[in-house]
Amino acid sequence: MKDTTEIVDLLVIGGGTAGIVGAKTAARLGARTVLVEYARTGGDCLWTGCVPSKTLLSAGHSAAERSHSGSSTDFAAVRQRVTNAIAAIEPEDSPAALETAGITVMSGTARFTGPGEAAVHGTTLRFRQALIATGSAPTIPPIPGLDDAPRVVTSETIWDLETLPERLVVIGGGPIACELGQAFARLGSQVVILARSEILPKEDRDAAALVRDSLRSDGVQVIEHAAVERVSDDGTGVVSVVHTGDGQEFLADVILAAAGRRARTTSLGLDLVGVNCDEAGQVVVDEAMRSSNPTIWAAGDVTAHPEFTHLAGVHASTAASNAILGLRRKVSKVIPRVTFTSPEVAAVGVTEAGTKTQTTSTIQHAHTDRAITENQTDGFTRIIIGKGGRILGGTIVGPRAGESLAELTLAVDQGLSTRAIAGVTHPYPTYNDALWNAAVAHARSGLESPAARVAVKALAGFNRWRADGLKRQRNAQ
């Protein structure tokens, strides 16, 4: 095995969002950085996640508008649109771009072999610090017959479909299931979503209900509390039959398994360097993103943190700067999330009042002028408020909810009150008026308490007395 003589400051394993951001952060700090990627840089987000799925959702939205005129979907054109979006963004994540940023990129798989050492295709790399950013992969649920079904895809392999499936059965009810289910329904597939519990189980129930209604209006059969019992062949060898525990059967040309992911840690040799994983195989990290080995860090889907691209980047930047500069900065616990269905569901922090000291302020978008002008009033903005009017979190449902969430996220992160939001001038008319009005409504409610009414009455009375006194002085002159 070939040995490298020079020790690198940071070895990054994985070339997705976490790996790229972590490597760039270290390189900007002057660290000698090596990034190892076994397939292609850019990761799931670029190739099979955020970029293609949001492009597909946009294509589905356009297809839904065209369907009113009787036009059918050109699936080849949709596939080309996805390819073009990836091609437009890919250069920013390419090995050439990373090399330009001062990062050495190696193609291959990396495995830790001992303290401060890792093997990459016969070469031993020595490192001072390392960042694990290998991400996660979709899992196929252990359902009898599913492995033998004619066509089963995941969020990674669904992009290999060359023709639009006539009948698509989705196993799962989370964001990926809802987003892809709605997109394919709008493109023309007959879609069934089989959710083990409820769709979007982590979200506000009113928000999930709006998404459920929207999916059904797009023709999606949303079956909740549906346990898939087994999958069989209809006898043709090309069509599957999905059986639920309550006796329902659904024909599927394609089955999309969207029921979970698993961290990619099994082949890294973590036991050789004292890096602990939890029962799910995820790297255990502290609030500074450091593993049980003080020289090895982790970020992104390989950890137990929520699987969001934006979170992977922020955590990787924190981990890399901590590793290179010897800092112990902690990551923020305020994590925004968006489900990009139509309508979008955006949430951050506390999304349900859970104690007597917590209250809610909700503005229905039927009372938001921009939503009225756009004829898209099926949505709401709801904020959760704690002691002193402090904003603890909330949910926004509607077009571009993810954009409106930014202000709410800042408010939660900085501990702002409804008075702070209410006191800021907002542009009109925007969907964000709903957030401002929710804050205004709560801030005004504080004036309705007995003590506040007494104080306001006294202040107004004093101001009248002073004004009358000034008037008398002017008249006397």
Boundaries of every domain in the chain: 2-41+94-138+262-325, 152-259, 343-448
396-416 tens-digit pLDDT: 999 999 999 999 999 999 999
The correct CATH number of 152-259 out of 3.40.1410.10, 3.20.20.10, 3.40.50.2300, 3.50.50.60 is 3.50.50.60
Q: Are 303 and 275 in contact (CB under 8 A)?
A: no
Query: What is the number of residues in the chain?
Result: 477
Please state, in angstroms and as integers, the Cα–Cα distance from residue 371 to each residue in 65, 301, 379, 429, following that order. 18, 36, 9, 9
What percentage of residues in the chain have a pLDDT greater than 90?
87
Regions in the chain scoring below 70 on pLDDT: 1-5, 67-71, 446-456, 459, 477
366-407 tens-digit pLDDT: 999 999 999 999 999 999 999 999 999 999 999 999 999 999
Top-tier CATH class for 343-448? alpha beta
CA angle, 307 then 347 then 350, to 5°: 100
Which pLDDT value is given to residue 475?
78
Domains 2-41+94-138+262-325 and 343-448 share a fold: no
E strand intervals along 99-217: 103-107, 110-114, 117-120, 123-132, 136-138, 152-153, 167-171, 190-194
Which pLDDT value is given to residue 461?
77
Closest by CA to 26, choosing from 303, 272, 327, is: 327
Domain 2-41+94-138+262-325 sits in CATH at 3.50.50.60
Which pLDDT value is given to residue 68?
59
183-209 tens-digit pLDDT: 999 999 999 999 999 999 999 999 999
**Cα separation, 80 vs 125, whole angstroms:** 40
**Cα separation, 424 vs 234, whole angstroms:** 62
**Within 13 Å, how many C-alpha atoms sit on residue 123's CB side?**
16
Which pLDDT value is given to residue 232?
96
Which pLDDT value is given to residue 451?
65
Closest by CA to 135, choosing from 229, 270, 249, 265, is: 265
